[in-house]
Homo-oligomer: A and B are copies of this chain.
Amino acid sequence: MTAPAKRPGRRPGSADTRGEILDAARAEFASRGYEKATVRGIARAAGVDSALVHHYFGSKDRVFLAALEFPLDPAVVLEQVAGDATGIGERLARFVVGLWEVPQTRERLLAVLRTIASNQEMAALVRGFAQPRLIAPLAARVGGTDAEARVEMALAQIIGLAMARYVLGVEPVASLGSEELVALLAPALQRLLG
């Protein structure tokens, strides 16, 4: 492989700086957890200014997603559930199946799933991110009694179906087309979140 040609005036060493921030972020998130890790602490560990971390990533969430190569951005999930309540199941099912059907995204999702299953520190880290940044805001959007538990049931249905289809590979769900998958998943999510 050859290095890409550098554009004139490009900040020297910037690719390495980004990588160094991500290395520092992985160490910081692993040792302090999502909630307690700070952009300031990550910047200090990487030997750069906090403003540079914000310049590259914009927010702690996005540093986290990039550092873990986490393939699911809560902000994008929240966009799917915005809008009318009668279509929430179908919109979310269509979004999720869309992610799965792209091999690169699917592989990252399955890699995170495998790591969580075998590594308690990673499970704690993802839990510390998913609870406040994904589950709580989704539940606030969905509303009603037991909203957080129903959101988790919906995520459980999605994760379980991904395992049945891609990990266990059991028929008939392993061979269903995208539209059939959406038709199977949408009413289950609608019942929980609608």
Q: Which of B124, B127, B130, B153 contacts A161 (CB 8 A)?
A: B153
Q: Is the CB of B117 within 8 A of A163?
A: yes
- Report the stretch among A3-11, A12-20, A29-37, A144-152 that lies at the interface: A144-152
Contacts A127-B170, A168-B127 given; indicate if A157 touches B153 (C-beta within 8 A).
Answer: yes
Q: Give the complex CA separation of A153 and B94 in angstroms.
A: 16
Cα A131 to Cα B170 with chains together (Å): 7
Q: Is A171 an interface residue (CB 8 A)?
A: yes
The reply to whether B169 and A161 contact each other, CB–CB distance below 8 Å, is: no
Chain B residues positioned under 8 Å from A188 (CB to CB)? 153, 157, 188, 191-192
Contact B155 A164 (CB under 8 A): yes
A84, B74: Cα distance in complex, Å? 41
User: Which residue of the partner chain B has the closest CB to A169?
Assistant: B127
Cβ A163 vs Cβ B159 within 8 A: yes
The answer, yes or no, to whether A158 is at the interface (CB within 8 Å) is: yes
Beyond A116-B167, A126-B168, is A160–B156 a contact (Cβ under 8 Å)? yes
The answer on a CB contact under 8 Å between B153 and A156 is no
- A116 neighbours in B (Cβ, 8 Å): 163, 167-168
A-B contact pairs, 23 of them (CB 8 A): A116-B163, A117-B167, A123-B167, A123-B169, A124-B169, A127-B168, A127-B169, A130-B170, A131-B170, A131-B171, A149-B172, A150-B184, A152-B173, A153-B173, A153-B184, A156-B161, A156-B164, A157-B157, A157-B188, A160-B160, A187-B191, A188-B188, A188-B191
